[in-house]
Amino acid sequence: MIRSPAEGAPFASRSLRKVVALLQHDVLIVGSGLAGMRAALEVAEDPTLDIAILTKVHPLRSHSGAAQGGIAASLNNSSDEDSWELHMYDTVKGGDYLVDQNAAEILSREAPENIFELEHMGCAFSRYDDGRIAQRRFGGHTEPRAVYAADRTGHALLTVLFEQLLKRGVKVYSEWYALDLIIKDEVCQGLVVYDILSGQLETIAARGVMFATGGYGRAFRVTTNAFASTGDGVVMAYRAGVPLQDMEFVQFHPTGLQGSGILLSEAARGEGAHLVNSEGERFMERYAAERMELAPRDIVARAEQTEIDEGRGVTELGDSVFMDLRPIGEERIRYALPSVMHLAQDFAGIDSLKEPVPIQPTAHYSMGGIPCDVDGQVRYKDQDDKPVVGFYAAGECSCVSVHGANRLGTNSLLEAVVFGRRTGRAMREQIGDLEPTRVTEGDMERAVAEVARFREGADGSERVGAIRSDLRDLMTEKCGVFRTDAQLNECLSGVKELQGRYGSAAIDDRGTTFNTDLLDAIELGHMLEYSELIVVGALAREESRGGHARHDFPTRDDEKWFKHTLAYRDEDAPRLEYSEVNMAPAYRDPYPIEERKY
């Protein structure tokens, strides 16, 4: 745990402008990706509710827009065999059974109506000749159920939701940064926020606060994640006393561009791309003979890493394998995978029509996050499973948990809209019954000290960029696709050492206007705090399941580890507890745990 060196620092700081509780709303949503915007539209259905979205980047910059391949729904537009049950089964099995089955059931049952709703809003989905929405195959899904917009599906969805937001005139605090979540007596009161433009700190009181703040993949050197994906929401919740669930489960996507880790969509494999090692072998044959390249991501990523570790990697560095698009054919590549083609060209100088692309596993998705129920209500998950009254979460920052130990491709966009919508509805129905909130100047103390420490404090001996760079190297090397006890212990002490160095970090920019130096420093604090939770959870979990693979415990151990991890913030170190996996879907029997083969 980080002991913020700012704690106890002199509070009085004349130049730091701060305003208490002038701003208030009934509902305040933090984050403007798919989950946040979808929820906002739902709340806005009740015109008597005063609602606002707060986001550190303009809504159209949100990382949902980077999702490429598709969004799953059993529409049966390309098949007669699909059903929500099959979708649910694929999701449960894909998640290596650590999936809450009540949530997976909702996800798959509500998928089609959500897709049609988005289509009616004007989403630019790719079509068949007869005008129906087109669907393609995706890893771990038995049937072709990925609805898509070429290979820019997230962008199409983000755009259409923003259009609807604009139409409704929903208030957006764009380029405002949330610093602290205020919870008193287990009731959420609002937020401490920072206006990036003016550099001013304020509170916003709100009876309902929803986090849709995205994932935490930036702690890894090789990652698909945007600079913004620094786990701010999960850390704010954690600091406010909420546990974090299953943090050790980080998905490594099999096809990141070598070096940068930039995402090349799984749609490429869905359309028929091959994975090939240095010997020219389609190696997936040895790992998942039936599904081959379209096995779930955890299995493909492990296979690639094994090929690389055993010396069958490609390029001079030997740290990657090839993805060969050529079997798909030029015309189809140009039509269905233009972004993949352009990314290979623009970011690696490779003409994917003519040669294979070197790719490697890349940190992609955060399965863990803020524990909540199927209506977005955040829960303490203690003995009474108390709700955090007025606090909600959806999307990647949350852990419902529909993805369990490994998310299937196309289920993340779906999760964001299905549970964003449900959370919005729940807030709309519940907020009117909640008490008015209490926000005082004292609630700003930690945030004021944090900002003052960097903006007005002494020069430090450490640069933020150097600490961050070391953290990312450490996490990719010691807490990557494969983990061992020794590596994780090294990683943990490394993270702690970096937390110590962070104590003497300083920044250059002491200004108030658009101070990105300051935000970098605050975000690094978040990364250091949640990285410890990833490692601690991974160290404790002595088995291999989904995205968490241990060389020293290579098999799944259901007897000991069929349970969710919960990390609570104690005085000196995180305290781990565990909770049961939900096996009670409403409309059918649960799928029993089986051996996972593809």
Partner 1 sequence: MPQQTFRLQRYDPVDERSYEQEFTTEVQPGQTVLDALNDIRWDQDGTLSLRMSCRHAICGSCAMKVNGSSMLACKTQVSAAQSRAGAEGVITVGPMGNQPVIKDLVVDMDGFMDKFEQAETWLKPPEGQEPPTREYRQLKDNFDHWAHASTCIHCGACYSDCTVTEVDDKFLGPAALAKAYRFVMDDRDATKEERLKMLSGMEGGIWDCTRCNMCVQACPKDVLPMDAIIELRTAAISAGYTNNNGSRHSKAFAGGVKKRGRLDEATLVPLSLGFAPTAIPDVLSYLPGAIRLLKSRKLIEAAKRHGAPKQARQEIKRLFEEVQDEKQHHDLDAESFAALHEEANKTR
Size of the site for partner 1 (CB under 8 A): 67
456-485 mask for partner 1 (x: CB under 8 A)?
A: -------xxxx--x----------------
Residue 513 touches partner 1, criterion: CB under 8 A: yes
Which residues share a beta bridge with 502? none
Q: Please give the residues from 189 up to 208 whose contact with partner 1 meets the rule CB under 8 A.
A: 197
Among 263, 292, 372, 394, binds partner 1 (CB under 8 A): 263
* 65 counts as binding partner 1 under rule CB under 8 A: yes
The residue from 343, 344, 400, 536 that contacts partner 1 (CB under 8 A) is 343
Which stretch in 2-10, 88-96, 183-191, 223-231 sits in contact with partner 1 by CB under 8 A? Answer: 223-231
Question: Applying CB under 8 A, does 167 fall inside the site for partner 1?
Answer: yes
Spatial distance between the Cα atoms of 400 and 370, rounded to a whole number of angstroms: 8
| Phi-psi region at 502: left, alpha or beta (left = phi > 0; alpha = psi -120 to 50) | alpha
**152, 221, 269, 403: residue in contact with partner 1 (rule CB under 8 A):** 152
Looking at 40, 262, 308, 416, which residue binds partner 1 (CB under 8 A)?
262
Amino acid at 464: V
User: CB under 8 A: which stretch of 9-17, 23-31, 62-70, 231-239 binds partner 1?
Assistant: 62-70
Known catalytic residue at 297: yes
CB 238 within 8 A of CB 397: no
Nearer to partner 1, 131 or 327 (CB): 131
Q: Cβ of residue 307: shortest distance to partner 1, in angstroms?
A: 23
Answer for which of 34, 35, 39, 57 binds partner 1 (CB under 8 A) is 57
Give 516-521 contacts, CB < 8 A, sequence gap 24+: 517/454, 517/464, 518/451, 518/454, 518/455, 519/56, 519/177, 519/196, 520/464, 520/465, 520/468, 521/454, 521/464
Of 160, 162, 159, nearest to 174 by C-alpha is 162
Residues 516-575 that bind partner 1 (CB under 8 A): 516-517, 520
Nearer to partner 1, 507 or 535 (CB): 507
- Asked if 339 interacts with partner 1 (CB under 8 A), we say yes
Binding mask of the shown chain, residues 112 to 151, with x at each position contacting partner 1 by CB under 8 A: ---xx--xxxx-xxxxxxxxxx---------------xx-
- For the sheet containing 71-72, what is the strand order? 71-72, 146-147, 135-136
DSSP state at residue 526: H
**Rounded Cα distance, 261 and 476, in Å:** 11
Q: In this structure, how many other beta carbons lie within 10 angstroms of the beta carbon of residue 18? A: 16
Distance of closest approach, residue 258 Cβ to partner 1, in angstroms = 10
Choose, by CB under 8 A, the member of 227, 317, 386, 489 that binds partner 1: 227
- The answer to whether 7 and 533 are in contact (CB under 8 A) is no
- Residue type, position 297, single letter: R
Q: Does 164 bind partner 1 (CB under 8 A)?
A: yes
Beta-strand pair 200-211/377-379:
unpaired
Q: Which of 221, 297, 468, 501 is catalytic?
A: 297
Neighbouring CB atoms inside 10 A of 560's CB total 12
Q: Which of 156, 191, 294, 549 binds partner 1 (CB under 8 A)?
A: 156
Site string for partner 1, 71-100 (x = CB under 8 A): ----x-------------------------
| Separation between Cα atoms, residue 460 and residue 425, nearest integer Å | 47
Pair 53, 59: CB distance under 8 Å:
yes
Q: Which is nearer to partner 1, 55 or 401 (CB)?
A: 55
Query: Which class for 331: exposed (0-12), middle (13-18), buried (19 or more C-beta within 10 A)?
Result: exposed
Stretch that binds partner 1, among 9-17, 341-349, 420-428, 577-585 (CB under 8 A): 341-349
C-beta closer to partner 1: residue 280 or 511 = 511
Please tell me the number of Cα atoms within 13 Å of 206 on its side-chain side: 30
C-beta of 101 vs 515, nearer to partner 1 = 515
CB of 231 to partner 1, least distance (A): 15
Place of tokens 């989950």: 35
**Residue 198 CA: distances (Å) to CA of 173, 176, 511:** 13, 10, 10
Nearer to partner 1, 432 or 511 (CB): 511
Q: Please identify, among the stretches 226-234, 241-249, 283-291, 441-449, the one whose residues bind partner 1 according to the rule CB under 8 A.
A: 226-234
Q: Do residues 74 and 82 make contact, with C-beta atoms less than 8 angstroms apart?
A: yes
- Closest separation in Å from C-beta 197 to partner 1: 7
Q: Any alpha helices (H) in 479-515, and if so which ranges? A: 485-502
As a whole number of angstroms, the distance between CA 133 and CA 129 comes to 9
Minimum CB–partner distance for residue 165 and partner 1 (Å): 9
Q: What are 367's strand-pairing partners?
A: none
User: In this structure, are residues 356 and 276 in contact, taking their beta carbons and an 8 Å threshold?
Assistant: yes
Token pair in block for residue 507: 């920044």
Contacts of 113 (CB under 8 A, 6+ apart): none
Q: Per CB under 8 A, which of residues 232..261 are in contact with partner 1?
A: 259-260
What positions carry a catalytic annotation?
A: 297
Chain residues that interact with partner 1, rule: CB under 8 A: 57-58, 60-63, 65-66, 75, 115-116, 119-122, 124-133, 149-150, 152, 155-156, 159-160, 163-164, 166-167, 197, 226-228, 259-260, 262-263, 338-339, 342-343, 346-349, 463-466, 469, 507-509, 511, 513-517, 520
